[in-house]
Amino acid sequence: MIVLGLSGALQHDPSAALVIDGETVAAAEEERFVRDKHAKKRTPKEATKYCLDAAGVKPSEIDYVAFPYAHIPLSSPARWHYARRYWYAPDRALDALFNGNRRFRAHKKSVHELGVELGIDWNRTEFIPVEHHLAHASSAYHLSGFDSKCAILGVDGKGEYATTFFGYGDHGEIHKIKEFYDPDSLGGVYGAVTEYLGFEMLDGEYKVMGMAPYGDPARYDLSDLIEIEDGEIRVDTQLVNTVGLRRHKDEGQSFFFSTKLIDKLGPRRRDDAADEPYIHYAASMQHLFEERVLSLVDTHLGDVLAETGKLAFAGGGALNVKLNQRLLNRADIDTLFVQPASGDSGTALGAATYVAHARGDRIAPMTHVYLGPSFTAKECKAAIDAAGDAVSVQALTDTVAATADILAAGHPVAWFQGRMEFGPRALGSRSILGCPNAKGIADRINEQIKFRERWRPFCPSMLDRVAAEILGTDHPAPFMTITFDVAQAWRDRIPEVVHEDGTARAQVVSKDAHPRYYALLEAMEKRTGNGVLLNTSLNRRGEPMVCSPVDALRMFLGSDLQYLVLEDWLVTKAS
């Protein structure tokens, strides 16, 4: 059975994923191909073409197209809740009641048109919509590898109407326990404060998380933004998650918060260098988000966790690695699986796995994210040749040893190897690497290569056999989705990948998942004594992660990087 999952229902992060007989064979974000971060208001055309080509599947052979956005009936409490809470914007409230599925109809039409353009035979291929949060839930539960019952958590901005999902999985079936509906959204509030702090919503939330350790959460109380009573949340829409005339407007831009929030907190942050009081607002928002999620988990998932000890987590909120650390530290959670593509791009995979399971396939666990395109040595050399006199090139006979020598000498290296990662994290295929005990290398990469805020942290990739010593646990961490407290003895050994609060968002690398990257870590261990590398995504600020050799060379020539290892070619700048 061949199932194609497509995402992009919320006008951002379109992607495609192909599941054949329960096995995920290809998945990729549209932004990587069109070079437009988040690929807003686009369909996943190029990503779909890649997935089909990679698997050798013709469009006419697809059995099902799964889409993570569904019809919500008027009998559902979702539309009534939305209308009641948005009473101050009558056009929104009435539209929810009388035309509440117009977006679903528009999405269904656009997917049908895309299918016709690609050659999908709609007389043979069935279009199956999946509720947005069920797609998130499936992306976590069905790919977790959990054989027995487990709790499922979904936190994001919103889907059709739902914003937060609590449920459990048992024998392959997903059961809902509780949902919250727009505007009562934990992720929405975090996004609104992200905008207030000068970042773009749906893109800058991880920047707020990175800023938070520099502030004091007790300096400012933001608890009135999200109140909890009897296990229900209520967002103060006088301040955040606003629509219509309540939204704050500045220089032609409309924000997801009101002018009353400006009155409460002061002017919106505008300058990258501005610290006070915004670092404290970031700390307070992060603390509030963690506390509210943990409280709701107690209420709605406490019994399931006490029984199972397992949690599968997805949605944009699952990319909050500090929250994930606190979840894992709970006494009732032994194992935490966080979908590495937790955001909306991952709903393509979630919709596909949901449909594949429902039609009888057994879903294979997700053991790696190397699901994107790879390029031959010939293709890489053609791209290098096209760069002309701007670069010099050398064929490497021992790529791992040559790269390790450059890294051990204190130089950053752009590392382009194998299939591209699916999801927002670079995990050793499209990475910028550095030696984590080379003093100042993090600042250098931030300022001269990534062109991003100075306080943004970098993450370590580490050998699986040394991870427990560094992180104090042998809990799986293959996808950089959880932070851990770094052992004191290691903080001085790898200071460039330890954040302000003594934590690190770690990737524990196994030989099976990425043999060449594992070999590079072993080579670094021989040279430095540490089987650890600083790892960040191969892109510049505001750009998607690179996909092709052409993308890598363009990024390389547009930064202060001096070394690019493109498969088995070492590229340097001619000057």
Instruction: Please identify every residue annotated as catalytic.
Output: 12
- Cβ neighbours around 527 below 10 Å, total: 14
What are the distances in angstroms from CA 304 to CA 141, 148, 169, 256, 311?
A: 14, 12, 10, 35, 9
Cα 312 to Cα 297: distance, rounded to the nearest angstrom:
12
Residue type, 5: G
Q: Do β-strands 64-67 and 126-129 pair in parallel, antiparallel, or remain unpaired?
A: parallel
Cα 342 to Cα 201: distance, rounded to the nearest angstrom:
16
User: What tokens were used for 44?
Assistant: 């996943």
Cβ neighbors of 168 (< 8 A, separation 6 or more) are 149, 150, 151, 152, 174, 175, 177, 301, 304, 308
Question: In whole angstroms, how large is the CA radius of gyration of the chain?
Answer: 23
Question: What DSSP designation does 509 have?
Answer: E
Instruction: State the DSSP string of 319-363.
Output: G-HHHHHHHHTSTT-SEEEE-TT-SGGGHHHHHHHHHHHHTTPPP
Cα 518 to Cα 521: distance, rounded to the nearest angstrom:
5
Rounded to 5 degrees, φ, ψ at 414 are -80, 125
First to last CA, the chain: 53
Q: Which residue has the tokens 């988990």?
A: 297
What is the distance of C-alpha 433 from the center of its chain? 20
SS3 543: coil
User: What tokens were used for 123?
Assistant: 């007389």
Q: Which residue has the tokens 């049908």?
A: 112
Cβ neighbors of 439 (< 8 A, separation 6 or more) are 495, 496
Q: Which residue has the tokens 């870590």?
A: 521
What are the distances in angstroms from CA 19 to CA 13, 50, 52, 334?
A: 19, 14, 11, 29
Residues forming beta bridges with residue 250, ordered by sequence position: 253
- Cβ neighbours around 408 below 10 Å, total: 16
Asked if 3 and 64 count as a contact pair (C-beta separation under 8 A), the reply is: yes
Asked if 255 and 199 count as a contact pair (C-beta separation under 8 A), the reply is: no
SS3 503: strand
What are the distances in angstroms from CA 540 to CA 520, 537, 568?
A: 24, 9, 23
Nearest to 458 by CA among 426, 489, 413, 488: 426
Question: What burial class does residue 90 get, using C-beta atoms within 10 Å of its C-beta: 0-12 exposed, 13-18 middle, 19+ buried?
Answer: exposed
Asked if 226 and 287 count as a contact pair (C-beta separation under 8 A), the reply is: no
Residues forming beta bridges with residue 20, ordered by sequence position: 2, 23
